[in-house]
Amino acid sequence: MSRRTLHAAAALLLGVLALARPLVAQSPEVPNMQPPNRTFLFFEVLEFAPAGVESPVRYDFSGWHGGDVNRVWFKADGEQGTTAEGGGEAELQLAYGRLIHPFWDAQLGVRVDAHYGEGETNTRVALAVGLQGLAPYWFELEPTLYLDQGGIVSAGLTAAYELLLTQRLVVEPRLESFASLKAVPEFGIGRGLNDVELGLRARYEFRREFAPYVGVVWARRVGGTADLAHAAGEPVRELSFVAGVRLWR
Amino acid sequence: MVTKEQLSLDELEAMRRALSRRDFVRTAGALGLLAGMEALLPAYARPQRSASLGRPALAEPLRHGAREIDLRIAETAIRVGRRRDMATTINGTVPGPLLRFREGEEVTIRVANALREDTSIHWHGLIVPPEMDGVPGVSFPGIHPGETFTYRFPIRQYGTYWYHSHSAFQEQLGHYGPLIIDPRDGYPYPFDREYVVMLADWTFEDPARVLDRLKKDSGYYNYQRRTVGDLVRDIRQQGWGAALRDRLEWGRMRMDPTDISDITGATYTYLVNGLAPDANWTGLFRPGERVLLRFINAAAATYFDVRIPGLEMSVVQVSGQFVQPVVTDEFRIAIAETYDVVVHPTEDRAYTLFAEAMDRSGYARGTLAPREGMSAAIPPRRERPLLSMADMGMDHGGMGGMPMNGMDHGAAGHGAAAAPAAAPAATAGAHAGHAATAAPSAAAVPAGHAGHGAGAVAAAMTASAPGALLTGQDGYRYAIAGISRTRGLRPPGTLPGMLEHEPDTHGPGNAAVPMMVQSRLQEPGVGLGGDGWRVLVYSDLHALTPRAEFRAPDREIELHLTGNMERYMWSIDGVPFGDAEPIHLTYGERLRLTMVNDTMMNHPMHLHGMWMELENGRGELIPRVHTVNVKPAERLSLLIDVDAPGRWAFHCHILYHMDVGMFRVVEVSEPGAAEVAR
């Protein structure tokens, strides 16, 4: 898959979701016999790091269409260089989610993982099984297991927490981490724990749906992943200041 | 048949088409629709002219004598505060016109629909035939655009009620009005003047959009959450241990103690008779007069705490039914409830009528004054309350701080599961674990004599189930009947006991269950009772006269109010309306409906077609209600004479909770069907 087609596919998916009219229910006479489906579009991260990193544009999008219990999820998580030859990476995921517990959604889907740039593109496809929800003490967690086309099992975890400084000023620490049972050198992935990314973002909710933020993100590759990065001349750790906006509708 | 009426309907329709919600502001002024705010208020809601002081009754209601009434539902531009918006109006005003009848009349009301969508009118609290009850899809097909539906029914009761749409979100858009029925035998309390005080909430947002936002971020309108600053303050005041323990308890449950109201002053303007606080609805009086205030909470999602600083209020009617007068300084009016109070201002001064939203995010306000243009100080808003551990059912310390004797926790709870799941319970639509039944004879204990619930005490003493007495702050000894549900139904009119919640957690549609559920009728509710003045509680209420017949219940159904705030799901027994079977009742039976609130929110539950008798420990004098508030972690019970065959609605009156599924159809069998079955 070329970088161009990948981008086209991503744009198309995002476009379809964005255009899907939010099904604002004009409820019928009595309460909805069949509650209407809704569409949720959410850029949790949409940011730019002005200096010092390889791929200064980052995004973490998730969205769903459906009801209270059954939903179709689409997620896009990636980063993108801004120079002429700048590459990037993207994880696109399409999943079915079902509410299995008051606070937990179980999700089953497919992830396409792509690294692109400098004329070459690597993609891999994986089955994804995960949970998404709210753990006790208000931790938002999203653990996911992946089984890729080569039979390699990997895992990812996203965790976030919200601290209200005021009713509109919210500080959000966020952790992202990946691990793999086997090395995947084409993707710069070593065996074991791959990386840890810690973010601290302070947003101001002008509206709930629109909250610009500034933050600091610290990322570290570890173990075999760090060795691979080192060999490729890529940084093992990065510290970046970011500015962005959190959006949903 | 082209009548003048229809022509004007057509004109309205044309105007409405011309005025989309977006551009009405530009054009409406030109059309003269916004000529004056008062023109858009019904006569009774307008600030009273001094000239009308000589006339004690309400100004120009559509009243008795007018045996046939025409109502027209249309979209109309109105002004709320300083802004303009389109409303769904009845005869062009918000609230709609006052309908005034006399007990015993037969009335005919024609309702014409000039909207683009279906509409309906439900007569809230009125006992009418099912096809006149006005719930589309339950008891009639609704009123389609351009159609006129004729309601015709006998008036078989007295009291203060209201009417509103049961279609879409029209109630939030202004489709409501007051309804008064004068008693055949006159009023048992004197008054010189009366006013309707219709409380409501208005949003300039599309209600469907409001719901959409809540579905995606249930805390969307809550701007009173606990911050890091609050934690620091609590640590200073309570110490690290207490402050952190509190945060951890709530965090472990994933519950927010500031989640008092879903929709708040962040979007709502609170109204008295259609007027925003600054517009200051004013009711005039002459010092020394007794003024009857008929409070109606027509809000879609707001509970109000009502007081008139400087005046004590004598509560004389609740849910349209006379009660033995209770003097109080403040009362909470749940959504859809109606309270009549008499005040007796003797001074020549203005009094502020203050209706604070339960979450303190705003208020509705009016004034009682001897002359126009007067006003009194507006009380400072109190700090937003926090839910307590008791609201989670985790307070083992007792009931609202009252001393408790003889409560046997060991006998409570899981015994119910061992009770034989009798057939009537299974057909009741309640799940087996929640239904307890017994032979009627087991509970047929004579209820004793009337008089401040003494009968209930006697009944509890003689009941076969283990009884307990509870001494309230007023020294009154509440009768608490047996806690074990295996021993049959407790006597009528008594308070339900305290129980552990059964193991059933009601599935993913319900976020948590309280550990203990108990009667909370003697508690004023979250945010009330700590101000040093009197607050009305449900256990204060006695019907004015004992009932001629006061039977023991034949059967009990237990329904749990459930919800999951994270996804803004609301349901009964964890099942939303769309997935639920109707609740089947048998004509002629006397039912005990026990409700348990598993959620952290208050729910105003309303039954159509039949009265509910609230078992507040007052024996034969328990009050009749059309709507009852159920507090978090509360277990309360109601007696219902199942005397109205047909399909009826039973639902939470928070409009958005009802819409997403906190609703059931109750099906009462036809007379005779039960005999055949037996």
Show the tokens assigned to B467: 């009884």
Strand B68-80 and strand B106-113: the pairing is parallel
The answer, yes or no, to whether the previous bond of B632 is cis (omega within 30 of 0) is no
Q: How confident is the model at residue B409 (pLDDT cuts 50, 70, 90)?
A: very low
Q: Which helix (H) or strand (E) holds B87?
A: strand B83-90
CB contact under 8 A, B661 and A138: no
CB pairs under 8 A between A and B: 113
Q: Give how far the C-alpha of residue A205 lies from the chain's centroid of Cα atoms, to the nearest Å.
A: 21
What is the number of other CB atoms lying within 10 angstroms of the CB of residue A179? Answer: 20
Q: What is the structure's pLDDT at B12?
A: 41
What pLDDT, in 10s, does the model give residues A88-105?
899 999 999 999 999 999
The dihedral over CA atoms of B367, B373, B374, B380, expressed in degrees to the nearest 10, equals 60
- The CB-side HSE value for B257 (13 A sphere, CA atoms) comes to 21
Q: Measured between beta carbons, which residues in chain A are less than 8 angstroms from residue B135?
A: 29-30
The average pLDDT across B128-149 equals 96
DSSP state of A169: E
The average pLDDT across A122-143 equals 97
- CA nearest A127: which of A106, A104, A152, A105? A152
Distance CA B131, CA B196 (A): 28
The angle that helices B24-31 and B4-18 make with each other, rounded to 10 degrees, is 140
Distance CA A219, CA A196 (A): 6
Q: How confident is the model at residue B35 (pLDDT cuts 50, 70, 90)?
A: very low
The average pLDDT across A125-132 equals 98
Residue with the two structure tokens 């203005």 = B350
**Chain B interface disruption, residue of A21, A30, A71, most B CBs within 10 A:** A30
Show the tokens assigned to A48: 């730019």
- CA nearest A154: which of A119, A123, A121, A130? A130
What pLDDT, in 10s, does the model give residues B433-446?
333 333 333 333 33
**Chain A interface disruption, residue of B171, B209, B212, B647, most A CBs within 10 A:** B212
Residue scoring higher pLDDT (B4 or B118): B118
Q: What is the chain A residue with the closest CA to B663?
A: A31
Average pLDDT of every residue of chain A: 88
Above 90 in pLDDT, residue A81? no
Q: How far is B432 from chain A (nearest CA, A)?
A: 22
Q: How confident is the model at residue B44 (pLDDT cuts 50, 70, 90)?
A: low
Q: Answer for the pair B646, B607: CB distance below 8 angstroms, yes or no.
A: no
What pLDDT, in 10s, does the model give residues A53-63?
778 899 999 99
CB contact under 8 A, A31 and B138: no
B237 CB within 8 Å of a chain A CB: no
Q: Measured between beta carbons, which residues in chain A are less than 8 angstroms from residue B253?
A: 136
Q: What is the structure's pLDDT at B23?
A: 35
What are φ and ψ of residue B328, in 5° steps? -150, 165
Q: What is the structure's pLDDT at B376?
A: 97
CB contact under 8 A, B208 and A26: yes
Q: What is the structure's pLDDT at B202?
A: 98
pTM for this entry:
0.84
B256 CB within 8 Å of a chain A CB: no
> B269's torsion region: left (phi>0), alpha (psi -120 to 50) or beta?
beta
Show the tokens assigned to B532: 């040093």
Q: Measured between beta carbons, which residues in chain B are less than 8 angstroms from residue A173?
A: none
In terms of Cβ atoms closer than 10 Å to its own Cβ (0-12, 13-18, 19+), residue B675 is exposed
Q: What is the structure's pLDDT at B159?
A: 98
Percent of chain B with pLDDT strictly greater than 70: 76
- First vs last Cα of chain B: how many Å apart? 53
- The CB-side HSE value for B484 (13 A sphere, CA atoms) comes to 14
Q: How confident is the model at residue A13 (pLDDT cuts 50, 70, 90)?
A: low
Angle in degrees, CA B493, B427, B572, rounded to 5: 70
Q: Measured between beta carbons, which residues in chain A are less than 8 angstroms from residue B509?
A: 68, 102
- First vs last Cα of chain A: how many Å apart? 31
SS3 label, residue B468: strand
What pLDDT, in 10s, does the model give residues B211-251?
999 999 999 999 999 999 999 999 999 999 999 999 999 99
- CB-nearest to B212 from A24, A68, A136 is A24
Distance CA B92, CA B441 (A): 55
ipTM of this complex prediction, to 2 decimal places: 0.89
What is the identity of the amino acid at B567?
A: R
Distance CA B310, CA B533 (A): 11
- CB-nearest to A25 from B211, B225, B569 is B211
Q: List B residues 167-206 in contact with A (Cβ-Cβ < 8 A).
A: 167-169, 206
B227 CB within 8 Å of a chain A CB: yes
Q: Which helix (H) or strand (E) holds B85?
A: strand B83-90
Q: How confident is the model at residue A19 (pLDDT cuts 50, 70, 90)?
A: very low
Q: What is the structure's pLDDT at B474?
A: 41
Helix %, strand %, coil % for chain A, to 5? 15, 60, 30
CB contact under 8 A, A136 and B208: no
CB contact under 8 A, A165 and B138: no
- Beta-bridge mates of residue A220: A196, A237
The average pLDDT across A173-200 equals 95
What pLDDT, in 10s, does the model give residues B329-353?
999 999 999 999 999 999 999 999 9
Percent of chain A with pLDDT strictly greater than 90: 73
Residue with the two structure tokens 């007023």 = B474
Q: Answer for the pair A237, A219: CB distance below 8 angstroms, yes or no.
A: yes
The string over B628-654, giving b where at least 16 C-beta atoms fall within 10 Å of a residue's C-beta and e elsewhere, is bbbbbbbbbbbbbbbebbbbbbbbbbb
Angle in degrees, CA A37, A38, A41, rounded to 5: 150
Q: What is the chain B residue with the closest CA to A101?
A: B508
For B205-240, the DSSP string reads: S-HHHHHHHHHH-TTTT------HHHHHHHHHHHHH
Residue scoring higher pLDDT (A235 or B521): B521
Q: How far is A99 from chain B (nearest CA, A)?
A: 7
- Beta-bridge mates of residue B362: none
- Beta-bridge mates of residue B261: none
Q: Measured between beta carbons, which residues in chain B are less than 8 angstroms from residue A28?
A: 136-137, 168
Q: List B residues 491-550 in contact with A (Cβ-Cβ < 8 A).
A: 508-512
CB contact under 8 A, A103 and B225: no
Above 50 in pLDDT, residue B180? yes
Given strand B555-564, what is the order of strands in its sheet? B569-572, B555-564, B590-597, B635-641, B612-614, B624-625
In sequence order, the 6+-apart residues with CB closer than 8 A to the CB of B483 are B407, B408, B411, B412, B465, B466, B468, B497, B498, B499
What pLDDT, in 10s, does the model give residues B438-485?
333 333 333 333 333 333 333 333 333 333 444 444 434 444 443 334
Average pLDDT of every residue of chain B: 82
Q: Answer for the pair A71, A65: CB distance below 8 angstroms, yes or no.
A: yes
Q: How far is B167 from chain A (nearest CA, A)?
A: 4
Q: How far is A163 from chain B (nearest CA, A)?
A: 7
Above 50 in pLDDT, residue B618? yes
- CA nearest B316: which of B343, B356, B346, B285? B343
Q: What is the structure's pLDDT at B394?
A: 79
Q: How far is A71 from chain B (nearest CA, A)?
A: 12
What are the distances in angstroms from CA B385 to CA B258, B361, B389?
A: 7, 10, 13
- The CB-side HSE value for B198 (13 A sphere, CA atoms) comes to 29
The average pLDDT across A160-175 equals 98
Q: Give how far the C-alpha of residue B182 lies from the chain's centroid of Cα atoms, to the nearest Å.
A: 21
Residue with the two structure tokens 């009380």 = B379
Positions of E strands within B484-545: 499-500, 516-517
Q: How confident is the model at residue B672 (pLDDT cuts 50, 70, 90)?
A: confident
**Chain B interface disruption, residue of A26, A29, A105, most B CBs within 10 A:** A29
Q: Answer for the pair B154, B105: CB distance below 8 angstroms, yes or no.
A: yes
Show the tokens assigned to B148: 């006129």
The average pLDDT across B298-304 equals 98
Distance CA B164, CA A4 (A): 58
Q: How far is A165 from chain B (nearest CA, A)?
A: 5
Q: What is the structure's pLDDT at A2?
A: 53
From chain A, which residues contact B within 8 Å (Cβ)? 22, 24-35, 38, 40, 68-69, 99-103, 134, 136-138, 163-168, 208, 248
